[in-house]
Amino acid sequence: MLSAFGREPYANPGDVPDSLGKKNIVSRIIAYFEDTNKPKTNKRFDISFIGGPHFSSDTKLGLGLMAAGTYRHDKTDTIVNPSNVSLYGDVSTVGFYLIGIKGTHIFPHDRYRLNYNLYFYSFPTNFWGIGYDMGKYSSNKTSFKQFYFKGAVSALMRVGGHMYVGPAMEFDRIDARKVENPSLWLGQKLSTTTVGAGIEMQLDTRDSRTEPHSGWFVSVEQKFCPSWLGNTYGFSFTSLKASHYREVWKGGVVAGMVSGRFTYGDVPWGMLSTFGGSGTMRGYYEGRYRDKCGLDATLELRQHIWRRSGAAVWAGAATVTPSLGDLSWRKVLPCFGVGYRWEFKQRTNIRLDFGVGRGETAFIFNINEAF
């Protein structure tokens, strides 16, 4: 029977047709991506890799490379969501390059959580000045090269139910070089160092941290950055974020998010509140609008379409202001967009987003949902 199906005539490996070897390479690639979203309970650490092109108004044409991994501190505990880690890198035609790692380590029974995000990038970018009115006018735009290193970590302990509290720290080193119009910095130093420490509180009832379908996530963060810690400028800031997720029909999830960041004291230009980029207000050049206070809100519909493919549409609004007392509706900026989702790993999506802001657009390639 075996010889009847042609097994014997190819007993000599040299007689195997070339097409089988070529098919082997292609089939391996296809099989790799077909397998990435399948749970691998036999593995303590499950990691997959992907890369792809992207285009945005700030970084232009680029190539992003990512690795997403999930693991469990205790393999037998399948009730608690797994820990996750993402390694990411990016290069673009304008000389932008980025490398970083971020994730959440979940300890047994989810009693403790370690959140971390470290990255470095070098970027020929633009600066419009400080305040909404400066960012509004394109004539204020000046170019410079920015070097940015950031490290942030928080160690949270569950204090009851879904509530977590713990210390948080961060380090930011920002250098502005080859500045064309330094007067826009209003006399501030072009290179600044910030060391901050404080407390973070979270309420987390989400069914997944990377692709939630239901639940709430509320985060309150207070950090102090006094000059005696070696900071270039002494200041402090408060960050608030609340997001909610609800499944409205089969495969359809509505996600809403509001956030605010409020700074106090002598705040360096690189640590002012802003929006844009791949997270909040997709479609805007990140850092174009910056001031002491920032507020934004987004409502997004995420719909599973077929197999591992999905789509998203969203609308949002944001503003920056020197203080809450100076809030003005005429300074609220809109944002709209559509996106494609591909399930790279189980509950981990690769997203391709096209965002439209007032007078600008952006195409974004990233991993995990924006919020």
**From the first residue on, what is the mean pLDDT of each consecutive set of 10 residues in the chain (371 residues)?**
36 46 62 63 77 73 87 80 92 93 94 97 95 96 97 97 98 97 97 98 95 98 97 98 98 98 98 93 94 98 96 98 95 98 88 93 87 96
Nearest to 155 by CA among 145, 142, 164: 164
Query: Can you give the pLDDT at residue 52?
Result: 75
- Site of tokens 């004539």: 139
- Which distant-in-sequence residues (6+ apart) come within 8 Å of 4 by Cβ? none
Structural contact between residues 99 and 66, judged by C-beta atoms closer than 8 angstroms? no
Determine the Cα–Cα distance for residues 76 and 69; give it in Å rounded to an integer. Answer: 18
Domain boundaries of the chain, sorted by first residue: 1-35, 36-367
36-367 fold:
Porin (2.40.160)
Provide, rounded to the nearest whole percent, the portion of the chain with pLDDT above 90.
Answer: 72
The per-residue pLDDT for 23 is 59
pLDDT, position 371: 96
DSSP string across 150-190: EEEEEEEEEEETTEEEEEEEEEEEEEEES-S-GGGGTT--S
